[in-house]
Homo-oligomer: A and B are copies of this chain.
Amino acid sequence: MSHNTFGHLFRVTTFGESHGVALGCVVDGCPPGLPLEAEEIQAELDRRKPGQSRFTTQRREPDQVKILSGVFSDDRTGGRQLTTGTPIALMIENTDQRSKDYSEIRDSYRPGHADYTYDAKYGLRDYRGGGRSSARETAARVAAGAVARKVVPGITIRAALVQMGPHAIDRANWDWEEVGNNPFFCPDANAAALYETYLDGIRKDGSSVGAVIEVIAEGVPPGLGAPIYGKLDADLAAAMMSINAVKGVEIGDGFAAAALRGEDNADEMRAGNDGRPRFLANHAGGILGGISSGEPVVVRFAVKPTSSILTPRQSVNRDGAEIDLITKGRHDPCVGIRAVPVAEAMMACVLADHYLRHRGQVGERA
């Protein structure tokens, strides 16, 4: 990962600020011959789109994606639009850049935001809506992820919100069907009902709350990843940690593994039907020694509460003067909700990259 690009053979470079002209990405290294329509990318973007419920920011952005390059169709492709192996540029124009008074955010450092650190690093910043540090950038990731999903044959990538504030779901209730039935991407219908009331309270308080997201990839072939600094779990950790407001990442049992004894943490094996071992448990989250085992790859990450709140906080301004600050405007009371499709996209990009790298180094074994 370097600046604004991640991946090696499947490489994504994103650009754009919250209130700039446009944001987007260049997806480089996508294999040729994959069917790709703007509608498919749009469908993923629509899942992340703001303003879909009272629980996400009321910014009105259609987030309409435009494919600028890298695809082709003619009668020989049967009219289907296919990737060509050249870079796929995707652009989303910003439309709802509400003209407003930015004088406060311009001069102040909002606690929990990147205002101070950007200034400390660069000496200036595009402060409108948070500029480059806004979670709006994740729209570009979701677009790239829609391409990445095409790369590894036979995989399924799904994410869900498994904790809001202090309230974890009951994993016994997990139903993937439920994820689409509530505005929280929550797989537990009971928890979703609770979250509705809970988050309304938070929102009315002008407060915010954190969350935990879980992403699961099924059908990952064994062998993806590499020792030592090309580990699949290391790349996934970086990918998830790069999402705005994320403060922790776990693979499989994660931090809970620290409290286990060796015999309880061992994923025992029996003979499988397909010549592969059949694992009796998946404490490891599908990754051993940095390489996929064929079991589901399971990643969880923690999102801190949205830093923009209506409760006054102590801070300083650019001139070093002490101030009290509240952050008005359109915000997600639980920014973790919209991180769910972003997490799927990051998982898809990392797996696509490792799939191509593995195929390069080892051939078609996987």
Contacts and interface: CB of A to CB of B under 8 A. Distances in A.
A15 B69 contact: yes
Contacts of A202: 261
A44 interface: no
B362 A31 contact: yes
B247 A113 contact: no
A253 B267 CA distance: 30
Interface in A293-314: 293-294, 302-309, 311, 313-314
A3 B289 contact: no
Contact of A84 (B1, B132, B256, B276): B132
Interface stretch (A54-62, A172-180, A189-197, A219-227): A219-227
Nearest to A67: B21
B250 A248 contact: yes
Contacts of A13: 5, 13, 26, 28, 87
Contact of A237 (B76, B84, B86, B241): B241
Contact of A68 (B22, B211, B303): B22
Contact of A89 (B24, B88, B126, B357): B24
A15 B14 CA distance: 13
Contact of A5 (B5, B275, B288): B5
